[in-house]
Chains A and B, each alone.
Chain A
């Protein structure tokens, strides 16, 4: 979405539900039907973040496009890398994702930690408290679970959280204020 200056540099498409209490910094684009809970943080430091449709980003989740460790923020000549997140992903409570490329239908469970060099394809499930900071492309439908990050492949990909998204999109505006979307109107607060 190439969009004229929206407040805070965030381009929030119409139909997305982004709570005011969430922290969105930098050049962030959020697609329609995505729900961002309060206290979620999306920080585009070293480059823009593009988030697709139908994603669910829960409380205290952190999606950050940060500078690599050995590069200072003021260094010149550093190309900003774009972080892309596909559709129907779920970022559960307290997870941290720095992965630059995330496909569709992935589930990143609570307190999981994805490093910069990981690339998630589709249908992957990163289990609770699993730290994945290898430099690899995780094959489709992989489940990472357990304290040793065991892996297995599942035969079906996780279902998109349609019901949950619909429910949240109805209920959240009753209790929170929403950030303004691209069309300039905020989601109306129901009385």
Chain B
């Protein structure tokens, strides 16, 4: 679901990524999402069928904290899947007394070892990168003897250093290396000679099929990969990415997706850029007028349009314009709010569109375009007056534009 507010002529668009949760519609910047491992804190997935789990409440009698002999009904919450009827009680998770926030994912016993390994390899990778970079820069030296660089001035980085001192870029690297003095040592994994033997009835014991997890269920939990269904714990739900677009020039939000359909506010006004090309060689003056109420030609419009009130002037088509460098650009004193650009016989101008209905169909606007026209074709019968300049006649056309569907 996307909102498009403005139709922009600016071609530079910056994008930024946010993470959002589909179920609880929680928004967070991508840095925060990375910390949480791209998972929602509140919502869980059913480990059995991967649907979203819902929290259900039951009343259980519990002793009052003040008076242990009396019991009162307390609310106990458990997670349940509406699709496959899995409940958190199936894997032995106790009911919690709070509706959300009480559920923890089980700890991975190997977390520490894995983190240490990751650190070690990160350091190793950094070191390798240093070596590579140093080798690259060291190789460049012989190709640029000092005499050469002197001739062309202080252009090179090498030149700027004092001879003999380490080059700054490498100096920066060596500083980093100096910081990382503490080495991370890891113990290599130990290969064991003795492995636990299989249980005796491994081949003869009948399979309890409902207890065996499917490959998909197992692999969705890569840290545990439980073989038994009674060890399938729910995992936090994955977040989805929202890619928002923004124009760099004017900081307007172009596209900001939302997961919740009811939170959409349709921006009421849109600016649309239209291009008009003048096909004749003489200057043409164009005026745009909105359609009147009850105009018989205005049948399909689904949006109101506000056309520029000033007259637009289009230069004539000049085939030689591209090659004529010395021609002075004609100064038309364009209003920047109205005219977006002007290029020889073309003009780009803005109209404002206000969609009238939230329709599925296309947004259509209509207006009248009025312009002058001079017929430069030679008359069949030469006129009796000598060379009267051809008169301009004013023509009015009805224009209907389909701007495409309302993206909302």
Partners in one complex: yes
Chain A interfacial positions (CB closer than 8 Å to B): 125, 127, 142-143, 145-146, 150-156, 158
Give residues of chain B (77-133) contacting chain A, Cβ–Cβ below 8 Å. 83-87, 89-90
B68 at interface, CB cutoff 8 A: no
Question: Are B89 and A143 closer than 8 Å at their CB atoms?
Answer: no
Closest 3 CB pairs of A and B: A153-B210, A145-B84, A143-B85
Chain B residues, CB < 8 A from A127:
83-84
Question: Are A154 and B90 closer than 8 Å at their CB atoms?
Answer: yes
Nearest B residue to A128, CB-CB: B83
Beyond A125-B85, A127-B84: 20 further Cβ-contacts under 8 Å? A127-B83, A143-B84, A143-B85, A145-B49, A145-B84, A145-B85, A146-B49, A146-B83, A146-B84, A150-B49, A150-B84, A151-B210, A152-B48, A154-B85, A154-B86, A154-B87, A154-B90, A155-B87, A155-B89, A155-B90
Chain A residues, CB < 8 A from B83:
127, 145-146
Nearest CB in chain A: distance from B260 CB, A: 26
Q: Measured between alpha carbons, how far is A152 from B90 in the docked complex, in Å?
A: 11
Nearest A residue to B230, CB-CB: A155
Provide 20 A-B residue pairs closer than 8 Å at the C-beta atoms, listed in order of the A residue.
A142-B210, A143-B84, A145-B84, A145-B85, A146-B49, A146-B83, A146-B84, A150-B49, A151-B210, A152-B86, A152-B210, A152-B229, A153-B210, A154-B85, A154-B86, A154-B90, A155-B89, A155-B90, A156-B87, A156-B89
Nearest A residue to B208, CB-CB: A153
Question: Are B89 and A152 closer than 8 Å at their CB atoms?
Answer: no
- Say what secondary structure dominates the interface of chain B: loop
Nearest CB in chain B: distance from A132 CB, A: 15
Give residues of chain B (12-49) contacting chain A, Cβ–Cβ below 8 Å. 48-49
Chain B residues, CB < 8 A from A153:
210
Q: Measured between alpha carbons, how far is A151 from B211 in the docked complex, in Å?
A: 11
Q: Measured between alpha carbons, how far is A145 from B210 in the docked complex, in Å?
A: 13
Nearest A residue to B229, CB-CB: A152
Q: How large is the interface on B (under 10, 10 to 19, 20 to 34, 35 or more residues)?
A: 10 to 19
Nearest B residue to A154, CB-CB: B85
Q: Measured between alpha carbons, how far is A49 from B231 in the docked complex, in Å?
A: 43
Nearest CB in chain B: distance from A93 CB, A: 16
Q: Measured between alpha carbons, how far is A155 from B90 in the docked complex, in Å?
A: 6
Nearest CB in chain B: distance from A184 CB, A: 41
Nearest CB in chain A: distance from B45 CB, A: 15
Chain A residues, CB < 8 A from B210:
142, 151-153
Chain A residues, CB < 8 A from B87:
154-156
Chain B residues, CB < 8 A from A151:
210
Nearest A residue to B85, CB-CB: A143
Give residues of chain B (185-229) contacting chain A, Cβ–Cβ below 8 Å. 210, 229
Most central of A125, A143, A150 by chain B CB within 10 Å:
A143
Q: Measured between alpha carbons, how far is A191 from B89 in the docked complex, in Å?
A: 46
Give residues of chain B (344-382) contacting chain A, Cβ–Cβ below 8 Å. none
Chain B residues, CB < 8 A from A142:
210
Chain B residues, CB < 8 A from A154:
85-87, 90
Q: Measured between alpha carbons, how far is A142 from B229 in the docked complex, in Å?
A: 14
Nearest CB in chain A: distance from B91 CB, A: 9
Nearest A residue to B58, CB-CB: A159
Q: Measured between alpha carbons, how far is A151 from B83 in the docked complex, in Å?
A: 12
Chain B residues, CB < 8 A from A125:
85
Nearest CB in chain A: distance from B388 CB, A: 82
Chain A residues, CB < 8 A from B90:
154-155
Q: Measured between alpha carbons, how far is A168 from B84 in the docked complex, in Å?
A: 27
Nearest CB in chain B: distance from A9 CB, A: 37
Nearest B residue to A125, CB-CB: B85
Chain B residues, CB < 8 A from A155:
87, 89-90
Q: Measured between alpha carbons, how far is A140 from B272 in the docked complex, in Å?
A: 65
Q: Measured between alpha carbons, how far is A156 from B156 in the docked complex, in Å?
A: 77
Nearest CB in chain B: distance from A120 CB, A: 15
Most central of A142, A151, A152, A153 by chain B CB within 10 Å:
A152
Q: Measured between alpha carbons, how far is A127 from B84 in the docked complex, in Å?
A: 8
Chain A residues, CB < 8 A from B48:
152
Chain A residues, CB < 8 A from B229:
152
Nearest CB in chain A: distance from B92 CB, A: 9
Nearest A residue to B81, CB-CB: A145
Nearest CB in chain B: distance from A90 CB, A: 13
Chain A residues, CB < 8 A from B89:
155-156
Q: Measured between alpha carbons, how far is A155 from B49 in the docked complex, in Å?
A: 16
